[in-house]
A and B are shown apart, each in its own frame.
Chain A
């Protein structure tokens, strides 16, 4: 076991982990944060997307020991701070989720694009979300929700 210390959603956490434990298993099983999901567990589906030191990563392709000293943000933290409240509302309004399995990853990946400001083209939105699978919606409503949020944020400036 290896000792690690990191911040998760702003709170300091120390734990001892097996080297092979990846970040999502650590979040889900040690910390009870079950918002990050495991679909494929080899980097393809994006359901495990979280933020590490401000950048989006595949939680299934980062070891918990690699996050030692880092700062992790999950959908729980981003929901609590209200950072993506408008985006979440747009997902509801546009029916951009059905089963919801992909949704935490989609929201975090979409917010990563929206944080750069401006109104991205639908093409750019699709490109930025190309690493996130959704098996329910067919993506169109997701692109609508992201575009709507971008326009609202632009208008609010």
Chain B
């Protein structure tokens, strides 16, 4: 189908974009357009205006400063895939990104768009939970910062107000003893996952610490499972206890791809595949 009619605005600064959002309550931002234009073509929404932030230099760039990796909201998936700073300091993102859609979508789709869209099946929201990232959000009264764990509120829901713009994310630099893992189950490469898991932690002489297990495509939003992670810490980790904890911490949904019981079973399969190598000192982090 064709998109419904809308007006098109191309502000030249973030401040102007925020002002436009304030003036047009029915407007929507467009970054890469790879989720938004698909949904407009399907007539799933009918914004009055599209405000194109896709060219704003303030929202671009990847930089390492003061012990954090700052990734501009407009960083395209293809750039995330290629950036040496990301490979070095946030290898989990590098491991995840080629699972996001297909080559011709990764050239346009952005990290900010993916996070703001908050699709429960998307990889990047779970990754930033596992990385304990911070979101930098610009609004009419300046910038605010929010922990990834507080940002996602539910199905396609975030704490972004209608006149706010996600400007960047900040990721703590991966420590020398950091380990990570990423796995998802899909029908076809590039499709949204049936279930997926992103994990990051530290590995020392006494086993794992600071482990974060972040799930996607299971329940209404990307979800951390701290009890399952706790069962894997220290000198006496237990995959069995971790797998058991998942039943308490995850709220699998039913859809055409898998029902509740299948999703939980698949989550346990992924837990073994991801956590197994992290627990083995000689294992290579997946």
A residues lining the B interface (CB < 8 Å): 2, 18-20, 22, 25, 41-43, 46, 49, 52, 55-58, 60-63, 65-66, 109, 112-113, 126-128, 130-132
Contacts of B34 in A (CB 8 A): 43, 58, 61
Q: Which A residues are in CB contact (< 8 Å) with B2? A: 20, 22, 25, 41
In the complex, chain A residues whose CB is within 8 Å of the CB of B176: none
Contact yes or no, A18 B38, CB < 8 A: no
Please, which residues of chain A bring their CB within 8 A of the CB of B63? none
Knowing A22-B37, A57-B108, A130-B190 touch, does A65 contact B103 (C-beta < 8 A)? no
Whether the Cβ atoms of B103 and A61 lie closer than 8 Å is no
How far apart are B44's CB and chain A's nearest CB, in angstroms? 10
Interface pair A19/B6, CB less than 8 Å apart: yes
Say yes or no for B1: interface residue by CB 8 A criterion: yes
Q: Which residue of A is nearest B107, CB measured?
A: A55
Task: Report whether A19 and B104 are in contact in the complex, using a CB–CB cutoff of 8 Å.
Answer: no
**In chain B, what residue has the closest Cβ to A44?**
B38
User: Smallest CB–CB gap between B9 and chain A, Å?
Assistant: 9
Chain B positions 1 through 12: 1 when the CB is less than 8 Å from some CB of chain A, otherwise 0: 111111110100
B41 within 8 A of A: yes
- B103–A56 CB distance below 8 A: yes
Question: How many angstroms between the C-alpha atoms of A49 and B104 in the bound complex?
Answer: 7
**Does more than half of chain A's interface fall in helix, strand or loop, or is it mixed?**
mixed
CA distance A57 to B106 in the complex (A): 8
Number of A-B contacts (CB under 8 A): 86
Chain B residues with Cβ below 8 Å from A65 are 8, 10, 52
**Closest residue to A128 on the B side, CB-wise?**
B103
Q: Which residue from A55, A66, A112, A131 sits with its C-beta under 8 Å from B33?
A: A66
- Please measure, in the bound complex, the distance between the C-alpha atom of A18 and the C-alpha atom of B104, giving whole angstroms: 24
The 6 lowest CB-CB distance pairs between A and B, nearest first, are A131-B102, A19-B8, A55-B107, A42-B38, A130-B189, A56-B104
> Smallest distance from the beta carbon of B201 to chain A beta carbons, Å?
29
Range for the number of chain B residues in contact with chain A: 20 to 34
| Cβ contact within 8 Å between B103 and A109 | yes
Given contacts A19-B8, A22-B3, contact A46 B104 (CB under 8 A): yes
B116: interface (CB < 8 Å)? no
Q: List 25 A-B contacts (CB under 8 A).
A: A2-B8, A19-B8, A22-B3, A22-B37, A41-B1, A41-B2, A42-B42, A43-B34, A46-B102, A49-B104, A52-B107, A55-B107, A57-B104, A58-B104, A60-B37, A61-B105, A62-B33, A63-B33, A63-B37, A65-B8, A66-B54, A112-B104, A128-B103, A131-B105, A132-B102
B33 touches A130 (CB 8 A): no
Given contacts A46-B102, A109-B104, 8 further A-B contacts (CB under 8 A): A19-B6, A20-B6, A22-B37, A58-B34, A63-B37, A66-B30, A109-B103, A130-B189
Q: Secondary structure at chain B's binding surface: helix, strand, loop or mixed?
A: loop
Please indicate the chain B residues that have their CB under 8 angstroms from the CB of A46 in the complex: 102, 104
| Contact B108 A58, beta carbon cutoff 8 Å | yes
Are A66 and B52 also in contact (CB < 8 A) when A61-B34, A131-B103 are? yes
Say if the beta carbon of B78 comes within 8 Å of chain A: yes
Residues of A within 8 A of B189 (CB): 126-127, 130
Point out the residue from B5, B52, B105 that lies within 8 Å of A20, measured CB to CB. B5
Asked if B68 is at the interface (CB within 8 A of a chain A CB), the reply is: no
Contact of B188 with A by CB under 8 A? yes
A56→B107 contact, CB < 8 A: yes
Contact call A43/B4, Cβ cutoff below 8 A: no
Q: Closest B-chain residue to A58, C-beta based?
A: B104
* CB nearest neighbor in B for A2: B8
Query: Which of chain B's residues have a CB closer than 8 A to the CB of A18?
Result: 5
Q: Assess A131 versus B3: contact at CB under 8 Å? Given A19-B8, A61-B37, A63-B8.
A: no
Which A-chain residue is minimally distant from B102 (CB atoms)? A131
B72-129 with Cβ < 8 A to chain A: 78, 101-105, 107-108
